Amino acid sequence: MSLSVTENVRKTVLENGLTVLTKQVKTAPVVSVQVWYQIGSRDEAPGVNGIAHQLEHMLFKGTTSRPIQFGRLFSALGSDSNAFTSYDQTAYFGTVERGLMESLLELEADRMQNALINAEQLTSEKRVVISELQGYENSPDYRLGREVMRAALPNSPYGLTIGGSKADVAKFTVEQVKSYYRNYYSPKNATLIIVGDFEPDATLAKVKEIFGKVLNAQEKIVKPQTTATKPETGTKQPIVLKEPGAASLLQTVYPLVDINHPDAPILDVLNSILTEGRNSRLYQALIESGLASNMNGYAATLAGGGWYNLEITAAPGQELAKIDTVLLDAIALLSEKGVTDDELNRAKTQLKASVLLNNRDIASQAMQIGYDQTTAGDYRFTDRYLAAIDKVSLKDVQRVAANYLAPDKRTVGLFEPTKQNGEASPGGNPTQMTENFSPGAPVDPAEVAKYLPKVDPAIPTPKALPEQFTLTNGVKVLLLPDDSTPTVTLSGFIKAGAEFDTQPKAGLAALTAENLLSGTKTKDDLALAKALEDRGASLNFRALREGVDINGYSLKTDLPVVLETLADVVQNSTFPSDEIELSRQRALTSLDLELDDPARVARRVFQQTIYPTNHPFHTFPTQESLKSLSREDVVSFYQKQYRPDQMVLTLVGDFESKQVRSLLEKALNDWKAEGKTPVANYPDVPDSKKVVQLNPSLPGKTQSVTYIGDRGISRKDPRFYAALVLNQIVGGDTLSSRLGTELRDRQGLTYGIYSYFSAGRQAGPFVVSMQTDSEDANKAISSVRALLAQIHDKGVNKEEVAAAIRSLTRGYNVGLANPDELANTIRLNEVYGLGKDELSSFSAKIEAVTLEDVNKAAKELLQSDKFAIVTAGGNTAK
């Protein structure tokens, strides 16, 4: 089995210095186009911290030749497009149907040289960036991490935050941003990556035609010298933050080497042994002991240095000092005594499997190539890395642990909450807002089309439909073989979700799902975990409202182990009392964190405002309900709800259908459904008579999150396809929708605003969600209501409908090239009773939507005089 990610990669350097990396992958009719620039927060200093990130935002504002929000152009192409800024690079990426590749190339070449950066747009986008940064500020772990990194890497730009600070961003001038653009955005400082279904020679000729004429900046790029920070030795006092929050946190950072240092792969092996999976050293020492509710770690090795980061969330009532002592003891034991062959082999297997599992789709393969080229300076880095992993020895792991994780090299941060937010209080219903607001004219799709490069007509590609069968006990199985990578994706469903919770026992479905892997009649939790972890495979269960999601991944050779484990736990879980208790403590911590998160609080209060108290969508866990749950409750729920006739399994990947069917029939043959099928109670939802506005207050939050909406529709509602087109126009994409154009682009009030219909088996809500400065919340709410009222009263136009249909159908085809999305779509089509043919007929149903259908849906579903409006965060009531 080849582990190479650079097989078929072709490197070309144009005369102007642009590095071009192409990889032909003909597994799906899509192409990913990415441009990576060697500019990130590493190229900054205090005073201009965040300018690379600000510049990334500006690259969406248009060019001198295309003075239009580029998000609208990407949406018109159905492109799955975005961008990110990191420590070493800024990347712009999009994935489209293969016939649209040239359009993406044209757009990326345009903004490489012609970005429109002026005072008006910079002022607006600085507000957006500050909103984004303040959203991060709402999180205690972000604030703690910022202080710890500054102290751990005091002389390195890696100690700065990627997004910068509000103070620095507020001071950026047009000339500063333009200077960074001229300095860094040029061919010799960029890498173009193209991966997917294209003809290499013809594509390279087109790249030379489009990008070959892009000139390099006249200014010479001067990069600051970044070297690994030499740690100060000796005991340092921990950084202590005492601020409002929900849970006690501990973070520790150790300086490390750069990505090309021979110790870098060994450090990843060390991290896997310490933190990856139930059998890892720190999981056992901290989570299984009940000291912590969450723990994670990673080794960051970048172009100019790195660090090792460990983050731990304390369990209720546990002291950070005790957690830190256990942490130090566990690392010291590893440093002094080393690790076992079993641990070393498991870590190696996990790391090698993760490379294949993380590169199953075309966009991810392009990302891997781009990261390797711009961070390690070599697109073949991952191949060298995998070879190095194979050579790691027991002595290597012990050596790097002793060398890099010595106690005197670490910087420690402690977050001690001073005030904990309790159960979400709806807050008062303020007086009706009186400000008048007139939304700007919608963007004319013809204006967007004017700036689009030539688009080749799409050639319809028939979609393979899954094989479908039902086992004798009622389990429904859908199989779609695909040998493009030697991996398998499992997406499953059991109708045992939170819809069966009652308020006194809210949280029961989640507690049951979390403990399925805590032990069976023949294997304890460690044996179950070991069977998967030793192969780098995974299997997870998560209870949502309408059911339990099952997600699994493995190399093709390990699929039998995943399916055998799945079959074992759905039939034979034993739910040990001690594991139930540990899970309850973790759930209590999670609840505390949820009630300190404006987005989670807003969603909770929003749904409880729309749905009556006896409705499943109204029910959320509380401290009292979680504490009341017993092992007997869990066992009873499991026995009643986990039934074969309520399960759907979908597999996409490299397997033989006959073998999978035989394995499933054997493993699940004895599982029988008994008694009546449980049915959740969904009472009628009364129509809202007026606007209800609530403001749950969360002290210490500078950014608020608002939910606006009402009861929506189910997935089988005949209006669903029209509603999807309507939503695409209203708020389906922050950068291209009416809401995004108005509130983000024109007014700069929000970093992100979206709308969506939560259309499942039941009628979930229609939601507009947005993040704003608390002082801007009421202005933003007025804007949203006015815009939705405008669409309700006047409708949309046929050009908008046509553009939305093109965007949705093109985006649907792109999405199905990702095995995760493909498996999930097949599964949900079955869960919703749509049939396997929906996979291929969905686009035709969207294309059949008319202007009249959309405007009728707007009249019926966007009744803004009946909306629930919930804003959680700082006090916004006037």
Per-residue pLDDT tens for 54-101? 999 999 999 999 999 999 999 999 999 999 999 999 999 999 999 999
Where is average pLDDT lowest: 104-108, 136-140, 647-651, 849-853?
136-140
DSSP-derived pairing of the beta strands 868-872 and 703-711: antiparallel
What's the whole-number mean pLDDT along residues 568-595? 97
What's the whole-number mean pLDDT along residues 118-146? 93
827 and 650 in contact (C-beta within 8 Å)?
A: yes
DSSP code at position 677: P
% of the chain at pLDDT higher than 90 = 87
- pLDDT above 50: residue 638: yes
Instruction: Please give the pLDDT value at position 687.
Output: 87
Instruction: Give the tokens for residue 372.
Output: 């390797």
| 3-class DSSP state of 177 | helix
Q: What is the pLDDT of residues 364-380, one digit of tens each?
A: 999 999 999 999 999 99
- pLDDT above 90: residue 107: yes
**Burial of residue 119, with CB atoms counted within 10 A of its CB: 0-12 exposed, 13-18 middle, 19 or more buried:** exposed
Instruction: Please give the pLDDT value at position 448.
Output: 87
Instruction: Please give the pLDDT value at position 436.
Output: 46
571 and 670 in contact (C-beta within 8 Å)?
A: yes
Phi, psi angles (nearest 5°) of residue 471: -70, 160
Q: Where are the alpha helices (DSSP H) in 534-619?
A: 559-572, 577-594, 598-610
Give the confidence band of 491 by pLDDT, cuts at 50, 70, 90. Answer: very high
pTM for the whole structure: 0.94
Q: CA–CA separation, 543 vs 679, rounded Å?
A: 17
Instruction: Please give the pLDDT value at position 415.
Output: 97
Q: CA–CA separation, 878 vs 864, rounded Å?
A: 20
Q: What is the DSSP string of 282-313?
A: HIIIIITTTSEEEEEEEEEEETTEEEEEEEEE
**How many residues are listed for the chain in this entry?**
878
Instruction: Please give the pLDDT value at position 408.
Output: 95
Q: CA–CA separation, 474 vs 647, rounded Å?
A: 8
Q: What is the largest distance, in Å, between two alpha-carbon atoms of the chain?
A: 78
Q: At what angle do helices 394-404 and 341-357 cross, to 10 degrees?
A: 90
What's the whole-number mean pLDDT along residues 41-63? 95
Q: What is the pLDDT of residues 520-563, one digit of tens each?
A: 999 999 999 999 999 999 999 999 999 999 999 999 999 999 99
What's the whole-number mean pLDDT along residues 115-121? 94
Instruction: Please give the pLDDT value at position 754.
Output: 94
Instruction: Please give the pLDDT value at position 434.
Output: 35
Q: CA–CA separation, 216 vs 112, rounded Å?
A: 10
Tokens 């090309």 belong to which residue?
260
What's the whole-number mean pLDDT along residues 119-127? 93
Q: What is the pLDDT of residues 648-694, one digit of tens each?
A: 999 999 999 999 999 999 999 999 999 999 999 999 999 888 899 99
Give the confidence band of 421 by pLDDT, cuts at 50, 70, 90. Answer: low
Q: What is the pLDDT of residues 437-447, one digit of tens each?
A: 556 667 778 88
Q: CA–CA separation, 603 vs 605, rounded Å?
A: 6
% of the chain at pLDDT higher than 70 = 94
Give the confidence band of 1 by pLDDT, cuts at 50, 70, 90. Answer: very low
Q: What is the DSSP string of 786-830?
A: HHHHHHHHH---HHHHHHHHHHHHHHHHHHTTSHHHHHHHHHHHH
Sign, Cα dihedral of 719, 724, 730, 731: positive
Mean pLDDT of the chain: 93
Start-to-end CA span in the chain (Å): 64
- pLDDT above 80: residue 485: yes
DSSP-derived pairing of the beta strands 487-494 and 411-417: unpaired
- pLDDT above 50: residue 143: yes
Instruction: Please give the pLDDT value at position 458.
Output: 64
Give the confidence band of 700 by pLDDT, cuts at 50, 70, 90. Answer: confident
123 and 394 in contact (C-beta within 8 Å)?
A: no
DSSP-derived pairing of the beta strands 538-543 and 548-555: antiparallel
Q: What is the DSSP string of 352-378?
A: HHHHHHTTSSHHHHHHHHHHIIIIIS-
Give the confidence band of 234 by pLDDT, cuts at 50, 70, 90. Answer: low
Phi, psi angles (nearest 5°) of residue 754: -140, 160
Of 496, 451, 321, 426, nearest to 693 by C-alpha is 426
What's the whole-number mean pLDDT along residues 482-487? 92
Q: CA–CA separation, 560 vs 700, rounded Å?
A: 50
Sign, Cα dihedral of 831, 832, 833, 836: negative
Instruction: Please give the pLDDT value at position 304.
Output: 95
Instruction: Please give the pLDDT value at position 877.
Output: 45
Instruction: Please give the pLDDT value at position 878.
Output: 41
- pLDDT above 90: residue 222: no
- pLDDT above 80: residue 267: yes
